[in-house]
Amino acid sequence: MDAPFVALGPSGVAIRDRLKHLTTEDDKVLRLVGEHLGNLALLDLKARCADGNEHSTDTWAARKQGLTAASSSRWAGSITKATHDQWALSRRCQLAHIQSLEAGVRTLMHRLSKPVGEKGTKRAPGGYRSKGEWFHKTRRLHTLQHRLDRARADRDNGVVHVVRGGRRLLNTRHNLAKAQLTEAEWRRRWETERWFLAADGESGKRYGNETIRVTPEGEVSIKLPAPLAHHANTRHGRYVLASTIAFAHRGAEWADRITANRAVAYRIHLDVQRGRWYLTASWQRPAVKTIPLETARAKGMIGVDTNAGHFAAYQVDRHGNPVGDPHRFFYDLSGTAQYRDAQIRHAITQVLHWAKRCGVAAIAIEDLDFTAEKTREKHGRKKRFRQLISKIPTGKLKGRLVSMAAEQGLSIVAV
């Protein structure tokens, strides 16, 4: 067993507010800018994928220089950085896919090497139950090996498969009836997701961002790209929106940053379903030094066990003895992604409030990762078991719990 450790706190913050009361001209300009910069982002992503492993700072500078003439230096910097991040994310996903295929191949080869009907142990699975199943698994092995060889070749050659706008939305085009969408509705979503309206912050610049600027009074202005400069309604090629924003959540922290001219990144996006424009502000936080493990458990802890449908929690003293009665905090992970996310946040909030009432300084939770545990090669026909594991939140829970606990002054101990 690995030694427990205190998890690091959140490294960034993101807040959002709606852009209300936009005029027809505001909507038109935002669409024009998003579409124009989205086309540039498409071309830049194509060029980055063509570079593959031959990418260097010189090729990056050449791409940025080519984009500057059609936009601006700052827009070009934001586009190339976003492209680089997207390519790097695809490489990490590609490596995770290769590792998953390798695990599946190892499991199949192990089980195929065992006699038919041999029982497994707690540490290793046994052979397959019949000759028919053994035969089908040999075909499955050849399929996975082919996929693995192809994925390894792509990685060696620096080839990644990226869809700007999202592969899930792209595949929805072939299942419009199931998604309850018309072709026109899907087309509007597809085009909107491929727009680009994001600008990185710059420390030392006025209000922390020269491209998308938000004043302390909430006035939002955009530096228009060169081909769209004739739409400007103020000096220096800027367009000021009629809408003002007021961040209800973390508004004071945001105001402190822009008043001190510290970097704040902004992203403007359109929710096609609701027909609403939103502005998201984000910034980085300095790494906070975590408290020692002994300090975290000096006042006892709340031990949390993650299950399908609920958190099981128990208060323990500094020696590990249970105190009081155990608690359950339920959640429902059926429905839309927004609903599932809200359920997780609600359950975590209940755990945090209970921990504050108990007077502890930390919450201990198992460092779970079921990525390799729910494969069909490992558990075979145990479909219900794999579905049960899939219903247990792991990755999203980690991110939510750490960030929400930091706001309550609680530490997270991973066991």
413 strand-pairing partners: 6, 364
The confidence score (pLDDT) of residue 388 equals 59
Task: State the angle between helix axes of 337-358 and 395-407 in degrees (0 to 180), rounded to the nearest 10.
Answer: 40
- Is there a contact between 266 and 198 (Cβ–Cβ < 8 Å)? yes
The confidence score (pLDDT) of residue 191 equals 95
**What is the reported pTM?**
0.82
For residue 132, the one-letter residue type is: G
For strands 276-284 and 12-19, give the pairing.
antiparallel
- Is there a contact between 264 and 256 (Cβ–Cβ < 8 Å)? no
DSSP letters, 159-208, are -----TT-HHHHHHTT-HHHHT--HHHHHHHHHHHT---EE---TTSGGG
Mean pLDDT in runs of 10 for the chain (415 residues)? 78 91 95 96 94 90 93 94 94 93 92 89 84 93 96 94 92 92 94 95 92 95 94 93 91 93 95 94 80 86 88 91 93 81 89 93 79 58 62 68 85 88
DSSP letters, 40-90, are HHHHHHHHHHHHGGG--HHHHHHHHHHHHTTS-HHHHHHHHHHHHHHHHHH
Look at residues 304, 245, 253, 312 and name the one whose alpha carbon lies nearest to residue 279.
Answer: 245
List the chain domain ranges: 291-414
CA distance 327 to 119: 39
Residue 278, phi then psi, degrees to nearest 5: -130, 150
CATH code of the domain occupying 291-414: 3.30.420.10
The confidence score (pLDDT) of residue 390 equals 61
The confidence score (pLDDT) of residue 368 equals 66
The confidence score (pLDDT) of residue 66 equals 93
